[in-house]
Structure 1
Amino acid sequence: MTRLPEGTPSTTADVEAELLLRVLSALLREDVVGWRTRSTAVRHPDGLWLRLSGGHDASGGDALLMPVQADGYQGTYAARLPLLRRESDGAELTDAGSVLSALRDLADPVDRGGFEALAAECGQALDAMRLHAGTKGEADALLTGRYGGDPATWTGLAGGLGFDTLAARTDHPVYPTSRGRSGLSVPQLRAYAPEFHPTFALRQLALPRDAVTVGGGTDAWLSPREAGAPELEGSHLVLPVHPLTADGTLRDALREAGLDGRAQLLDGPGSDVVPTLSMRTVALTSHPARHLKLPLATATLGLRNRRTIKPGTLVDGAAGQRLTEAVVAREPRFQGVVLHADETRFAHAGHELIAVLLRRYPAGLDGSVVVPMAALLCQAPGGDRLLIDHIADRFYGGDPLALLDATLALLFDWQTTLFAYGIALESHQQNISLVMDEHTDGNAGRRTRLRLLFKDNDGPRVNHARLREAMGQQAPERGEFDDARIFVDGDGPVLDLFTTITLHLCAGSYAFGLARHGHAPLERLLRLVRDRLAEAVARLGTGPGEPGALLRARVLDAPELPVKAMVTAGTLLSKERSGAADINKHYTTGPNYLRQTGTS
């Protein structure tokens, strides 16, 4: 049996096998119960296995064997077959429940509840994967009927919602159960999840004005009169609410916020919307360039990664946007090329379930293809080709590697420039869109123009000393951000974020992904990543103490690189046990795949 190819599994057995392979590989990568540090390699006739002795303290218990193969993307090995084997009797554990039960028995007793939680996540993800496999034809027909048969012609921010639907049906590059959403039924998924591309009406909540904190002015929100409640005009402000929240946990949230009896959920429907890839963010059907980020009482990418909105993150998102725009203003080559959604308009009532962000995208994108990076390796509707192939046909002469090359050149130029200012963004592949069109460029005639569109700037890491050195008095003060973890005292946390997000998720994942799909040899793709990063680093200067020297030593030439330990921090261990100050920025280490290409 060999590892299943990436794509949509065709049978229930394929779905289960693919999920288990991803789970086993994640547990190995994150050294759960010592799979990396306590196991020994054993060569069998069919290939390499790792042997892990029983007991969390390496004493007693039955040993387990995991079949592995060389990997290189964030881990030296990955699971080769979807199973664990008990050494004593040769029994094979071939489903996530039995595998996690066996590993639970090897864990420290205080951590065993996390394995039960991960098993529940696996069940949710498996249900979602089966649902996706069974509805692929339905979804493809809906998208092609709405946007056209060739996804390279899905233009504007409205067309981008179609790409979000494709991306929602594809696995995260690292997190194994990414398609699952806790606590949601199949009818709720069909009604509200992006993979089904539904349209639905929001609910409307009238809140006393004295209870609402507003950023960017009240003109962004409906007045009670406009919402059909003229009797509340002047005393209340109306905020949109997601139906899943309105019908679920809103009552408890209002009571916790001291608003029970003072707030009023209006009877009339709110605006019609379509969900984006993040699900809690929805696009107005009447104005696709305006998105509303609304809290949901569910979790994705880990039990602790709740989809609520902490009020402080709204402040941080606006401050992060101002900071990145200040850098663009100081670096002329990025003006009009690196675009940002406006995230300065928000409102909240001091509770993570009573909040809203109005995200406004730049004008002038209607004729452009706006595709989130998360969708590039998705299977396009109506065939076996990847979305990146269709996009390359239109803009890059049918060469997907040329598209990747152009993307990496611009992305690394921008992100390394930010690093020189002491900044790293949590701009993963869901938060960056490629904006492509044919552009008239003086005497050069019409050519492809590539731009980058960013959103969600609320979780950066900033070396304040380096920022002050680069920007002087224009550098923001710590008090402009709510989260004290954003400002750090050295380059280490900034480098960690740059590596795990920009390099691994926005570059390395495409090299390994395109190689798996047979687009080019892995060595060639990794050389492309390294070369473009090396060029960007060289522009910063590589003398002692210069930013380029740090990136070369800590990223290009480092023997190991930081790797996000998402399962450990998000589900398996409590914050007290993992030590994670931020579950999205908790790391282990893995091999540096850039070193496989040699030095430059």
Structure 2
Amino acid sequence: MTVPAAGSDGTAGTPDADGTPDAPPGGTGESAELTLRVLGALLREDVVGLRSGSVPVDGPDGVWLRRPTTGHDALLLPVRSDGFQCVWAPRLPLLRRESDGTVVSGCDAVLAALRALADPVDRGGFDTFAEECRQTLATVRLHTGTQEEVLALLAERHGADPARWTGLFAGLAHDTLAARLDHPVYPTARGRSGLVPRQLRAYAPEFHPRFALRWIALPADAVTLRGALPGPRPSELGLRGLDDSHVALPVHPLSVGAPLRAALRDAVLDGAAVLADRSHLDVVPTLSMRTVALADTPRVHLKLPLATSTLGSLNRRTIKPGTLVDGAAGQRLLQSVIDREPRFRRTVLLADESRYAHAGHELLAVLLRRYPSGLDDAVVVPAAALLGRAPGGRMLLDHLADRFYGGDPLALLDAWFTVLFDWQTTLFAYGIALESHQQNVSLVLDERKGRPRMRLLLKDNDGPRVNIDRLRATLGPGAPDPAVFDDPRVVCHDDGPVVDLFTTITVHLCAGAYAFALARLERAPLRRLLGLVRERLSEAVGRWEGGPGEPGTVLREHVLDAARLPIKAMVTAGTLLAKDRSGASDINKHYTTGPNYLLRGV
């Protein structure tokens, strides 16, 4: 077998200053970058044996993986050493057929080549993923073409320095920066199924728009209501004679039309519901898009179902009524830990998610989220925005470091990891792990007595894992009954699911991803960045260490010193395979394993 050398056909693919590979012939920079990300995810998740069924071979330009196909042919994938959830990461020229040296480039061609290796029953998933990739590429190109326009808009509305974007309303501009970044793991996260550029410009957070909500009047006896919701009575929407019999629920404009009509039919409400022609309440989208902030009261957010998918075709952006119950229960549980561990009253803030309404259908629901008061002078930044490009071209992390940490981005990361790991390891000691990824946890930065203060702000607590046995041992009679959670998957009786969630969310997405990203940008050596992650995690784990079975001992054995770590198989569970084929009971918590980049000496 002969592995081709890099040559004048562009296969060397040197990175630009922003870390994006040069475009190979026949493709744009965005196309090549997306294809690399897609191949990286498929390699991590070992789709069609791309990792386990391949043999590494040395070529003139480095290592290639040889995956046999049919007959005497094979696919050749050039790789470089990586370590973030996989030993290898793909590099240009993407993929070659061994028999004739043909370069297979672009997501369509790559997925077609791999689709041929899949079980016939699974090939439809590859077709769906190919469409997901096409939607994402169109969105990425839209982002590229509008980047300067949007940054100028943010600077005009909120000021040129994002470290001075204080308060919750200006914080929505940080969401806009985050929405223009790729997910650390899922390769097509910027795509939203079924939405076209016109709709993205009007409603997506990356464009920082403002729009008015639609409203529907539903029979009061069909609506489950927990707490008061902001909004008008039906008569204020021009719907006469319904104030005594109906309740008005907000509807996202993108759900009006066929999705809403189908939901009303499914809920047997189509004859009794009345959609108001009049819009009411101006809102601004947050990073999650389906959640919007009231423009005049930015402390109040409304989470509204959308008939679209992100992070996988099976990952619908609707709201199952049970998740509203679980979010409220999760918030109460976190508050009980804070009450028992008073130091977190100074470092952890919780959004209130106890008020909601639904009519028994995932498109007829709303969550009211209310943020704490006292944040007008603080900079509130979703963790997902830290590496975003701000007005003027610099990284948001650098602006924040300049204002709060003497111009040292690593000092800011150090403070972030210290608070993050202290909180999350304490939760683990109580038997709890949260789905508190980069979108669900924000940094709250301000100054107190002339010194920077770092706090965390958490939301969306509906998908935890709770080891009820450990929780009962720590909370005693105060431990909640497992029945408070609607989703039976929340509660378990051992540490395994809790360790998996802790590792894949807190360690990988909220810490490791930053270390590898900043190292790729040559901001600091990878060894130094990973050393910081390990040191702060080790300190936090040490507070809970003891004999066998103690929480710190479990975390040291299964995270810090484990040979391999769990990683999310998001593409497999979210798009490529049906649940009965993947075996995923929860598509957001379906795992494989990868190398442990936290081991000493790595």
Question: What is the TM-score of this pair, normalised by structure 2?
Answer: 0.96
Matched, 1:65 2:80: no
Counterpart for residue 443 of structure 1: none
Query: How far apart, in 1, do the equivalents of 2:600 and 2:82 lie?
Result: 12
Counterpart for residue 556 of structure 1: 560
Is contact 1:7–1:379 with CA below 8 Å preserved after alignment?
A: no
Counterpart for residue 55 of structure 2: 40
Matched, 1:496 2:507: no
Matched, 1:417 2:432: no
* Secondary structure of the structure 1 residue equivalent to 2:109: helix
Equivalent of 1:13, from 28, 33, 48? 28
Letter matched to residue 505 of structure 2 = I
Query: How far apart, in 2, do the equivalents of 1:172 and 1:566 lie?
Result: 11
**C-alpha displacement of 1:186:** 1.0
User: In structure 2, do the counterparts of structure 1 residues 219 and 295 end up closer, same or farther at CA, with 3 Å as the change threshold?
Assistant: closer
Counterpart for residue 143 of structure 2: 132
**C-alpha displacement of 1:86:** 0.2
**C-alpha displacement of 1:196:** 0.8
1:399-451 CA-partner distances (Å, limit 9, x unpaired): 000000000001000000000000000000000100011112xxxxx211111
Is contact 2:104–2:110 with CA below 8 Å preserved after alignment?
A: yes
Counterpart for residue 173 of structure 1: 184
Counterpart for residue 289 of structure 2: 279
Counterpart for residue 41 of structure 2: 26
Counterpart for residue 516 of structure 1: 520
Query: How far apart, in 2, do the equivalents of 1:61 and 1:400 lie?
Result: 52
Counterpart for residue 235 of structure 1: 245
Matched, 1:84 2:95: yes
Equivalent of 2:119, from 92, 103, 108? 108
Give runs of aligned pairs for residues 566-585 of structure 1, distance below 5 A: 566-585=570-589
Letter matched to residue 276 of structure 1 = T
Give runs of aligned pairs for residues 368-447 of structure 1, distance below 5 A: 368-383=378-393, 385-440=394-449, 446-447=450-451
Query: How far apart, in 2, do the equivalents of 1:200 and 1:254 lie?
Result: 24
Is contact 2:86–2:595 with CA below 8 Å preserved after alignment?
A: yes
Is contact 1:114–1:571 with CA below 8 Å preserved after alignment?
A: yes
Matched, 1:588 2:592: yes
Counterpart for residue 306 of structure 2: 296
Counterpart for residue 351 of structure 1: 361
1:306-356 CA-partner distances (Å, limit 9, x unpaired): 000000000000000000011001001101320010001100000000000
Equivalent of 1:529, from 516, 533, 549? 533
* Secondary structure of the structure 1 residue equivalent to 2:28: helix
**C-alpha displacement of 1:247:** 3.0
Letter matched to residue 114 of structure 2 = L
Is contact 1:526–1:597 with CA below 8 Å preserved after alignment?
A: no
Q: Which runs of 5+ in 1 are unaligned?
A: 441-445
Equivalent of 1:159, from 142, 161, 170? 170
Letter matched to residue 300 of structure 2 = R
Matched, 1:194 2:209: no
* Secondary structure of the structure 2 residue equivalent to 1:51: strand
Is contact 1:435–1:452 with CA below 8 Å preserved after alignment?
A: yes
Letter matched to residue 399 of structure 1 = D
Counterpart for residue 9 of structure 2: none
Equivalent of 2:372, from 334, 350, 362? 362
Counterpart for residue 263 of structure 2: 253
Letter matched to residue 366 of structure 1 = D
Once superposed, what is the RMSD of the aligned Cα atoms?
Answer: 1.3
Is contact 1:17–1:82 with CA below 8 Å preserved after alignment?
A: no
**C-alpha displacement of 1:231:** 1.6
Query: How far apart, in 2, do the equivalents of 1:7 and 1:361 lie?
Result: 36
Counterpart for residue 342 of structure 1: 352
**C-alpha displacement of 1:236:** 0.6
**C-alpha displacement of 1:81:** 1.3
Query: How far apart, in 1, do the equivalents of 2:244 and 2:380 lie?
Result: 40
1:242-298 CA-partner distances (Å, limit 9, x unpaired): 000013410110011010110100011121111111110011101111111000000
* Secondary structure of the structure 1 residue equivalent to 2:292: strand
Query: How far apart, in 2, do the equivalents of 1:3 and 1:573 lie?
Result: 34
* Secondary structure of the structure 2 residue equivalent to 1:485: helix
Query: How far apart, in 2, do the equivalents of 1:69 and 1:596 lie?
Result: 21
Is contact 2:13–2:93 with CA below 8 Å preserved after alignment?
A: no
Equivalent of 1:469, from 473, 476, 488? 473
Query: How far apart, in 2, do the equivalents of 1:78 and 1:431 lie?
Result: 27
1:193-252 CA-partner distances (Å, limit 9, x unpaired): 11111111110111100000112x245443223434342111111011000001341011
Query: How far apart, in 1, do the equivalents of 2:448 and 2:524 lie?
Result: 29
Equivalent of 1:317, from 319, 327, 340? 327
Query: How far apart, in 2, do the equivalents of 1:3 and 1:414 lie?
Result: 41
* Secondary structure of the structure 1 residue equivalent to 2:397: helix
User: In structure 2, do the counterparts of structure 1 residues 65 and 9 end up closer, same or farther at CA, with 3 Å as the change threshold?
Assistant: closer
Query: How far apart, in 2, do the equivalents of 1:479 and 1:3 lie?
Result: 55
Is contact 1:9–1:133 with CA below 8 Å preserved after alignment?
A: no
Q: What is the aligned length?
A: 587
Bigger mean CA offset, 463-472 vs 512-521: 512-521
**C-alpha displacement of 1:597:** 4.0
Percent of paired sites with the same residue:
66
Counterpart for residue 463 of structure 2: 459
Is contact 1:8–1:133 with CA below 8 Å preserved after alignment?
A: no
Query: How far apart, in 1, do the equivalents of 2:486 and 2:579 lie?
Result: 21
**C-alpha displacement of 1:10:** 9.1
Is contact 1:220–1:345 with CA below 8 Å preserved after alignment?
A: no
* Secondary structure of the structure 2 residue equivalent to 1:214: strand
Bigger mean CA offset, 74-83 vs 473-482: 74-83
Query: How far apart, in 2, do the equivalents of 1:226 and 1:532 lie?
Result: 54
Query: How far apart, in 2, do the equivalents of 1:490 and 1:362 lie?
Result: 34
Question: What is the TM-score of this pair, normalised by structure 1?
Answer: 0.96
Counterpart for residue 155 of structure 2: 144
Counterpart for residue 8 of structure 2: none
Is contact 1:54–1:106 with CA below 8 Å preserved after alignment?
A: yes
* Secondary structure of the structure 2 residue equivalent to 1:173: coil
Counterpart for residue 449 of structure 1: 453
User: In structure 2, do the counterparts of structure 1 residues 82 and 245 end up closer, same or farther at CA, with 3 Å as the change threshold?
Assistant: farther
Matched, 1:308 2:328: no
Equivalent of 1:205, from 216, 228, 233? 216
1:379-398 CA-partner distances (Å, limit 9, x unpaired): 12222x21100000000000
* Secondary structure of the structure 2 residue equivalent to 1:271: strand
Query: How far apart, in 1, do the equivalents of 2:575 and 2:427 lie?
Result: 32
* Secondary structure of the structure 2 residue equivalent to 1:292: strand
Query: How far apart, in 1, do the equivalents of 2:171 and 2:532 lie?
Result: 27
Counterpart for residue 327 of structure 1: 337
Letter matched to residue 56 of structure 2 = A
Is contact 1:10–1:133 with CA below 8 Å preserved after alignment?
A: no
Is contact 1:52–1:64 with CA below 8 Å preserved after alignment?
A: yes
* Secondary structure of the structure 1 residue equivalent to 2:299: strand
Q: Which runs of 5+ in 2 are unaligned?
A: 1-11
Query: How far apart, in 2, do the equivalents of 1:219 and 1:105 lie?
Result: 52
Query: How far apart, in 2, do the equivalents of 1:460 and 1:114 lie?
Result: 28
Query: How far apart, in 2, do the equivalents of 1:68 and 1:265 lie?
Result: 55
Letter matched to residue 571 of structure 2 = V
